[in-house]
Amino acid sequence: MSAIAFFGAIESGLLFGLVAFGVFIAFRVLDFPDLTVDGSFPLGAAVAATLIVSGWNPWVATAMAMVAGCMAGALTAWLNVRLQIMNLLASILTMIALYSINLRIMGKPNVALLGDETVLTPWEELDIAFYLISPILLTLVVLVVYFLLVRFMTSETGLAMRATGVNAKMARANGVHTGRLTIMGVALANGLVGLAGALFAQTQGTADVTMGVGTIVVGLAAVIGGEAIMSTRTIARWLFACLIGAILYRLAIAVALNTDALGLQAQDLNLITAVLVTLAIVMPRMKQLKRSGGAA
Amino acid sequence: MIEVKELHVTFGKGTPLENHALRGINLQIPEGQFVTVIGSNGAGKSTFLNSLAGEVMADTGSIAIDDQDVTRWPTNKRSGLVARVFQDPLAGTCESLSIEENMALALKRGQRRGLSRSMKKEYKELFQERLSRLGLGLEKRLGDRMGLLSGGQRQAVSLLMATLQPMKILLLDEHTAALDPKTAAFVLELTRDIIAEQQLTALMVTHSMRQALDVGDRTLMLHEGNIAFDVQGDEREGLDVPDLLALFSRNKGEELSDDSLLLG
């Protein structure tokens, strides 16, 4: 594998690390199966790209993308908490709605960022190989997000959010406003995915309305893969496992696609992902089943 | 002082499965009283507890705690006034969180939660001190996941968690029913000690008539959503299980025939 392919995989691994953080908050912390992600990823890209093209500061545009993601997540959770629509269905409704909204935001199916100033532009003047710029910048962003998330999850409110996902009745009995924290958590999750989408658009130089397809599966692959190979004893380690899972997943895909002997091509990506995720979900359960003597 | 007036709760109103679970309960519990509640299956014990906690909303009637009307308050809003230990050891704790995280969560019951760290050195010391009274060695296992503990250990910790913060009433929902006899006795003893030490107002649901008489200052029996009898003080002194049965048939004009109620 060439250095460019390798750092390309690292770059997208870091981006999907942000997605994995979001998926982790929804699926693991809140036990909320949230497919909004497939819509909030292109939403973040659409908002950032559209604002950048109309001359906004790229960091402000990125922040706005995050806010848009938060709003999408809050909508999903609100449909669930207030209108009592099943969580999975609520997220599908938002995801479908976002397809139209994303087209409205961009006014066309895709927006190119050729020659526009992005968050990467200031770095391009430095004496760094072009394929290293995004990985370095993304590493910084991901680390900041990681430390903020760990700090939040170990705070009083973060602990209450985790309890909401594990045992909502017990959380309520201890004074936790479970509905509010669910909305806050799903909003945060999609804000992170929106951030990932915004950065993806800027590193790839384009935002496309179809770019969200399968985001949730990749995010899940990262979370489940990370959990399978690393310790999840503390929240800090668990989040770190998600990040490593995302990077290793993209590296594994890059290796698979770059190994001619396997005969795999880019169009096989989704199939490989689906198989990997299925295996990662079933394997730990097989072990559990054996241990408990077959009783579910 | 807990004051319940004409409390009615109906589940599935207007459906074929309509269940009028509570039918006009009136009850006053003065501060510091320890009330035990018995009743056969479907008598409304759990519904009554849930309506005091806020998990079940009253159709009509009112609930006041220290003259404050809390009838329409949801569970989380009442949590500063009401603490709870559930019947199921799994229900009262978060199994995937550590012992100290569970306790830190309970330490903030009824208080505002901000962004400051949930774990502090002084909290850990407090948790260790409280856990050490159990004599189970749990004070050395603060970082262990709750799920690693046995049912009895979890109930004991739940009890400590419920009493970390002051409350107006402690609700115990058959909290020893899921335990083996020896562990149940241990948890019950701990319950009596803590209630006596902290002079708590408590309401304990139990399946055992014997236990209902042995523990606490007052015994209520619920039957078909209402109070069948209510004994305390001298009247309760020296009562035995057959007396309770007699009391029941005198008040209700029927024999009690339910195997689910332990007579022993």
pLDDT digits (tens, 9 = 90+) for A249-270: 999 888 888 877 777 887 888 7
pLDDT at residue A295, as a whole number: 45
Is residue A242 pLDDT above 90, yes or no?
yes
User: Would you state the pLDDT for residue B114?
Assistant: 93
- Alpha-carbon distance of B4 to B249, in angstroms, equals 25
Reported as a single tens digit per residue, the pLDDT across B208-228 is 888 999 999 999 999 999 999
User: In whole angstroms, what is the distance from residue B118 CA to residue B21 CA?
Assistant: 40
Query: Torsion angle, CA of A207/A208/A209/A213, rounded to 10 degrees?
Result: -110
* Both structure tokens of A17: 């690390």
CB contact at 8 A, A220 and A27: yes
| pLDDT tens string A35-69 | 999 999 999 999 999 999 999 999 999 999 999 99
The superfamily CATH assigns to domain B2-110+117-252 is P-loop containing nucleotide triphosphate hydrolases (3.40.50.300)
Return the HEC string of chain B. Answer: CEEEEEEEEEECCCCCCCEEEEEEEEEEECCCCEEEEECCCCCCHHHHHHHHHCCCCCCEEEEEECCEECCCCCHHHHCCCEEEECCCCCCCCCCCCEHHHHHHHHHCCCCCCCCCECCCHHHHHHHHHHHHCCCCCHHHCCCCEHHHCCHHHHHHHHHHHHCCCCCCEEEEECCCCCCCHHHHHHHHHHHHHHHHHHCCCEEEECCEHHHHHHCCCEEEEEECCEEEEEEEHHHHCCCCHHHHHHHHHHHHCCCCCCCCCECC
Q: Looking at chain A from residue 136 to 155, which residues have their Cβ under 8 Å from any Cβ of chain B?
A: 152, 154-155
Whose CA is closest to B175, among B75, B103, B239, B86?
B86
Checking if the pLDDT of A131 tops 90, the result is: no
Q: Give chain B positions within 8 Å (CB) of A158.
A: 118
Looking at per-residue confidence, does A296 or A164 come out higher?
A: A164
Whole-angstrom distance, CA of residue A128 vs CA of residue A67: 31
Give A259 to chain B, closest Cα distance, Å.
40
Note whether A156 contacts B115, CB cutoff 8 Å: yes
B132-177 tens-digit pLDDT:
999 999 999 999 999 999 999 999 999 999 999 999 999 999 999 8
The least confident of A13-22, A202-211, A287-296, B251-260 is A287-296
DSSP secondary structure letters along A245-257: HHHHHHHHHHHHH
Among B82, B94, B119, whose Cβ lies nearest the Cβ of A170?
A: B94
pLDDT digits (tens, 9 = 90+) for B28-80: 999 999 999 998 888 899 999 999 999 999 999 999 999 999 999 999 999 99
The domains of chain A are located at: 3-213
Instruction: State whether residue A167 sits within 8 Å of chain B by CB.
Output: yes
Q: Is A291 on the interface with B (CB under 8 A)?
A: no
The pLDDT score that the predictor gives to residue B42 is: 84
pLDDT band at A201 (very low <50, low <70, confident <90, very high): very high
Contacting residues of A for B109, CB less than 8 Å apart: 173-175
| B59 contact partners, CB below 8 Å, separation of at least 6 | B8, B9, B10, B13
Q: Tally A–B CB contacts below 8 A.
A: 86
Q: Which residue of chain A is at minimal alpha-carbon distance from B164?
A: A174
Note the pLDDT of residue A296: 42
Residue B191, min C-alpha distance to chain A (Å): 19
With pLDDT > 70 as the criterion, what percentage of chain A qualifies? 96
Look at residue A253 in the predicted model and tell me its pLDDT.
84
Supply the pLDDT for residue B262: 59
- Interface confidence: ipTM more than 0.85: yes
List residues of chain B with CB under 8 Å from any CB of chain A.
Answer: 53-55, 74-77, 79-80, 82-84, 86, 91-97, 101, 104-106, 108-111, 113-119
